[in-house]
Amino acid sequence: MLVDLGGNLPTTPYTTNREGRGPAWANSLFEDNAEFGLGLRLGVDSHTRAARALVEHQRGQIGDTLAGELLHADQSTQAGIQAQRERVLALRQALSRLTTPEARRLDALADYLVKKSVWLVGGDGWAYDIGYGGLDHILASQRDVNVLVLDTEVYSNTGGQQSKATPLGAVAKFAAAGKTVPKKDLGLLANMYGHVYVARVAFGAKMPQTVQAFLEAEAYPGPSLIIAYSHCIAHGYDMAQGAAQQKMAVNSGVWPLFRFDPRRIAKGEPPLHLDYGPPKAQVAEYMRNESRFRVVERTDPVRFKQFLKESQEAAQQRYAVYQQLAGITVPQVKVTIDDQDTPAAVESEE
């Protein structure tokens, strides 16, 4: 596995297993994460093509059976990848008896006959804002690149400036009175390509859905995008409660959970699968748990009440859009804001 921007210099969270295998990783410039990762993918693909061509060219020396198995191996599972690694060992044994330049070249490239997984890891400031053009290029390219966006909804590393991921009503630098426009829906934009695997996850709300999304993204033979809820100190609450806040974000509809898998289309199924239900009357409770929203309540209660109303409406509208894309009909909960600024469920609409 190749990972770009997965560690904070000078430390790294990566290591090797008992066989000495582990991820190769590198840190790129903040704004170049997508381009850097795509370059890794293109480099791996180029080496793989060269290795496969050399295997084909040297069938007579390494044996038709081994050559065929190397070229047509099923590497869609971990067991299949391990079997290919064993074939590569057999290949190297065969090559050790040869002295031609082609044999030495193949020996150097043999590891590229084993499937390589490329993951890009970055934040919302990169993915939604400064590096969005590069990310969009990757998603449009149909290359087998996996992207993990750790969405803190703010430029965390550079002091807490607002990004296009910052939600409506949140206070951040350059949005001191609360952000006046809703959060950019990066997942929905990616869905529109039709060939990109897309998921939004929050492990504190639904761990099995998070694991399933990573497994599906890794297995998908094309670009994949996972947007992960990442609680942050800039949100203004005790980080020990991060998982509980994630759950509240999902239950309120602020953070929708879904998996968009283009492979479902061939089965006659809608590609979008919702992993959360209709939003409940909890948007105000969610917002009041975080000081980034409460600041506005203290300084301008009228403005804060308007943010509550718009945020609740946005959660309902978002679910209605996703519901249609998923091809399902679910009773909606109509929510209003009472005089105490507290959302109250009024009635269900069929």
**Residue 33 near residue 4 (C-beta atoms within 8 A):** yes
Please report, for the domain that includes residue 331, its CATH number.
Answer: 3.40.50.970
Among residues 82, 113, 144, which one ends one of the domains? 113
The answer to whether residue 212 sits within a structural domain is: yes
pTM: 0.88
One domain, residues 44 and 77: yes
Q: Decide which of 80, 95, 113 is a domain's last residue.
A: 113
Q: What is the mean pLDDT of residues 18-36?
A: 86
Classify residue 9: in a domain, yes or no.
no
Is the same domain home to 222 and 205? yes
Same domain flag for 44 and 60:
yes
Token pair, residue 74, equals 């099923």
The first and second tokens of residue 311, run together, are 């945020």
Q: Are residues 82 and 123 in the same domain?
A: no
SS3 56: helix
The residues near 303 (Cβ < 8 Å, ≥ 6 apart) are: 177, 178, 296
Output the pLDDT for position 350: 35
Answer yes or no: are the C-beta atoms of 245 and 204 closer than 8 Å. Answer: yes
Q: Are residues 162 and 80 in the same domain?
A: no
CA angle, 191 as apex, 190 and 195 as ends, to 5°?
95
Residues 103-119 have pLDDT tens digits of 999 999 999 999 999 99
Q: What is the pLDDT of residue 160?
A: 86
**Tokens 């249609």 map to which residue?**
324
Q: Which two tokens stand for residue 255?
A: 């953070």
Clarify whether residues 193 and 132 are in a common domain.
Answer: yes
**Mean pLDDT across 308-334:** 84
Handedness of CA 294, 295, 300, 306 (dihedral sign): negative
User: Which residue is listed with tokens 């449009």?
Assistant: 140
CB 168 within 8 A of CB 312: no
**Are the CB atoms for 292 and 235 separated by under 8 Å?**
yes
According to the model, what pLDDT value does residue 332 have? 52
pLDDT digits (tens, 9 = 90+) for 125-174: 999 999 999 999 999 998 999 999 999 999 987 888 899 999 999 999 88
Domain closes at, from 85, 113, 141? 113
**Helix or strand run (H / E) with residue 312:** helix 301-325
Q: Computed over its alpha carbons, how large is the radius of gyration of the chain?
A: 24
Are 311 and 168 spatial neighbours (Cβ–Cβ below 8 Å)?
yes
| Residue 11 reports pLDDT greater than 90 | no
Q: Residue 267 has what pLDDT?
A: 93
Structure-block tokens of residue 307: 């943010």
* Domain membership of residue 56 as a residue range: 28-113
User: Could you tell me if 340 and 200 lie in one domain?
Assistant: yes
What's the pLDDT score for residue 328?
73
pLDDT of 4 over the 60 cut: no
Q: How many CB atoms lie within 10 A of CB 92?
A: 14
Q: Say how many domains are in the chain.
A: 2
262: closest CA among 199, 318, 307, 204?
199
Predicted confidence (pLDDT) at residue 5 exceeds the cutoff of 90: no
Q: How many residues does the chain have?
A: 350
